[in-house]
Structure 1
Amino acid sequence: MRPAVHLAIPVEDLDAARHFYGEVLGLEQGRTSSHWIDWNLSGHQLVTHVVARARAQEGASEVDGHHVPIPHFGLLLSPQGFHELADRLRAAGTEFLIEPYLRFPDRPGAQWTMFFRDPCGNALEFKAFLDESQVFAR
């Protein structure tokens, strides 16, 4: 088995999470219970757990003239997959924290990126490198 990431995130409404992660993002649903759902995030396990909570304190980091929400998680996609997801998010009426744009053009690590929140306030970033060999380029 190839190494994969397991990520558990809090959600307040499992039905809203089911709609967003399953229908809007198009993730395949795995095991489920009355208080959690496993999702296939491109071979990685993402688990949405119901947690009654106040929203966590968040920060931001300045990157390329934008306030990037911290913490956040996401996925590296192909450029085609990135643009298809951006179109699907727009069609679903998703409000972007940072609209899809090309970050660091003409520099090592040039990438398409976008930020948005799930219905429970978790920040997500999806990106696509123009050259996948430059994911860790300096």
Structure 2
Amino acid sequence: MFSPHPTPHTPHPTNKLFQQTLTKMTISPSVTTKKLKIGQLRKVHHIAFNVKDMDASRHFYGEILGLEELVGEKIPSSLKELVTQGKVANFITPDGTVIDLFWEPDLNPPDDNPEIAFTRANHLAFDIAPEGFDFALEVLQSQGITIASGPVTRPTGRGVYFYDPDGFIVEIRCDPAS
């Protein structure tokens, strides 16, 4: 099963699920259906990268790029155990975007040919107001988007995971309702 927060050795999503998603996607600009309005997705909440060498990546994002590493109470409660185990590290940019690093020691190296597409990105997460989360889920379902995982509820809020047309994992998440 797909895991938006992989542990080492968690397989990536299968092509079968992605193909099912593409088959179900019949998005047409001329069809009037539910959709999110411009501005409902408020910002990029976090970007998650798979990394082969956690120490080198922590050094790169923290020491070289100067991003603040989240420690102690700043670590999201849903990730504290994985951070303690050394499987996840979290950094934050000055505008509040979180960079999640997920340790995947068995990653294949990129091809020597720079023209061959390659990504270590795990998923892209958009933030939405808590009162808009259920509507966003309805929009995805009405557009025939297959839900890969969720909706899930964590202490840090709710989230739903799905694929874009190229198979990249996207999340819509919200803070807990207040």
When normalised by structure 2's length, the TM-score is 0.35
When normalised by structure 1's length, the TM-score is 0.43
Larger relative contact order (CA 8 Å, sep ≥ 6) = 2
Structure showing greater Rg? 2
Greater share of strand: 1
